[in-house]
Structure 1
């Protein structure tokens, strides 16, 4: 019995040391904000790429016009510092017209997206927008099977100039 107890205690002590080491690294990044050292991060096991458009008309001063999500290769390039083509493009319209926003930070998984985006380089706009959304994988599969029906796939809200804009977007297959 003692022969098994000592190795078991050694293993438990090693596990406890690992947990203490992980805890000393600080809290894990929240889902609502990308970690500072990982400003651009994607963790995808499947393909969520596509152009997403509103499934219903909204009223108000601001509205989400579209959200483009690129292929995994585009995210890899962006995270490696190659800024040729943005892997995420958010287009909103407001009192001054349409604004195309590109990533300042993002955290994308199969089920969620947190994006901090600002106007493209050269724009006179300077304020960032923040998007928090949920991605419904089942609805995405249905929309792709039906070639872009009005199924809500991405739901959430964008905050622009202090105004929260709820949205519901469907995968868009074009006209």
Structure 2
């Protein structure tokens, strides 16, 4: 009986070893992981939707951080993370090129050259926004921010104000910026 049990255990272990995904040996250490369903996590019990905009200029490489967008719960539920050829995700980061000319948009005057970064990974909860993505313009982008729920609730009651609701670290354009302070704006 013991020999049969040991044979069964070794057979299972052998089969499991065959199913192990290949790990590329030459992948750079800072390369983002390939998107997978488990790379996207949304576990917020409060409405975090809106635009999180810097309270002062945040420069990373040649880019200025324009905003971090967080969608509504329904957008997180509808988005599977495997869409291709899309320009929208429930969490996105947008940068502007401060050297580009100004342009008039529905949101007012803004820089004409922008770079929108879609996620390859995110984790959003009541107290945190974690994001990782890439774009041809910015390369690898990472953001890890802590949400101050009291400040966010106050800002939402006042339909946006200048108070800091998220503090975090941003990496983009090969540069890391600590102590990034963002305010909340509901958008149009």
Q: TM-score range by the shorter chain?
A: 0.5 to 0.7
Closer/same/farther in 2, CA of residues 160 and 169 from structure 1, 3 Å limit:
same
Task: Tell me what 1:15 maps to.
Answer: none
Bigger CA drift: 163-172 or 36-45?
A: 36-45
Shift of 1:125: 3.1
User: TM-score, normalising length from structure 1?
Assistant: 0.68
Q: Gaps spanning 5+ residues in structure 2: where?
A: 1-31, 100-112
- Structure 1 residue 174, shift from structure 2 partner: 4.7
Establish whether residue 90 from structure 1 lines up as the match of residue 90 from structure 2: no
Residue 142 of structure 2, aligned match among 130, 133, 147: 130
More displaced stretch, 87-96 vs 110-119:
87-96
Inter-partner Cα distance in structure 1 for 2:55 and 2:160: 10
Which residue of the partner structure matches residue 69 of structure 2? 68
Cα distance between partner residues in 1 of 2:131 and 2:59: 23
3-state SS of 1:147 partner: coil
Provide the secondary structure at the position in 2 that maps to 1:63: strand
- Whether 2:160 is the aligned partner of 1:148: answer yes
- What is the match of residue 113 of structure 1? 129
Please give the alpha-carbon distance, in whole angstroms, between the structure 2 residues aligned to 1:160 and 1:138.
Answer: 29
Larger mean CA deviation between 148-157 and 50-59 belongs to 50-59
Displacement of 1:59 after TM fit? 5.5
Give the Å deviation of 1:93.
3.3
Q: Partners in 1 of 2:187 and 2:73 — Cα distance?
A: 21
Q: Distance in 2 between matches of 1:102 and 1:36?
A: 14
Query: Could you list the per-position Cα deviations for residues 114-139 of structure 1 after superposition, in whole angstroms to 9, with x for gaps in the alignment?
Result: 100222xxxx4372201111111101
Q: When you count helix as a share of all residues, which structure comes out higher?
A: 1
Task: Report matched runs for 1:51-66 at 5 Å.
Answer: 51-58=51-58, 61-66=62-67
CA RMSD, aligned part only?
A: 2.9
User: d(CA) in 1 for partners of 2:56 and 2:81?
Assistant: 36
Sort the Cα spacing of 1:59 and 1:107 in 2 relative to 1 into closer, same or farther, 3 A: closer
| Conserved 8 A contact 2:65-2:96 | yes
SS in 1 for 2:134: strand
